[in-house]
Amino acid sequence: MRHRKIFARVTATVLVSAFAAAALAHGGATGIVKERMDGMSAMAKAMKALAPMMKGEAVYDPATVAAGAGTIASHAGREITSKFPQGSGGMPSEAAEEIWTDWEAFVTLALELETAALALELASGREAGAGASATTAEAGIPEPVRSLADMSTRQLFGRVGKTCSGCHKQYRVETE
């Protein structure tokens, strides 16, 4: 019961933060800043689509979970860090200066997000009945992703949400 409350709070915080930021921040953004904001919006949209399933408020659809997780993974990791070149902070960006002064930690979080999202994508197929044993398709999947994929999709969704939230708390400037 306690885990459900924590899960619900993390999910709500991530979704509200992501959509509020996206709605306000995109005004006037161009170039690389707009590209990264668009990527963040795509991830937020995927989280919003998955949240009702993960909370048991909608029917679980493994294809939707896989697609949403794939969207998140495609904007995470090195893809998202490539959208933060030195000097791309300042308005209308919400990027905190700590991104560049603590680059290694920022990259670590981006890679953790990618790993958790890829594991969520893999786990969604397993829960759909594809089987829990490694398949030929999984042969090229890195071990950290395969190991995490043994968790439930709810747990992995919570992990994705916590990673997003942790990054936002540390590396995003709050705007009014």
Q: Which amino acid is it at 32?
A: I
d(CA 159, CA 136): 26
* pLDDT tens string 9-49: 655 555 545 544 444 445 677 889 999 999 999 999 999 99
Report yes or no: 40 and 22 within 8 Å, Cβ to Cβ: yes
Please state the pTM of the whole predicted model.
0.78
Distance CA 68, CA 88 (A): 28
Q: What is the pLDDT of residues 1-20, one digit of tens each?
A: 555 555 556 555 555 455 44
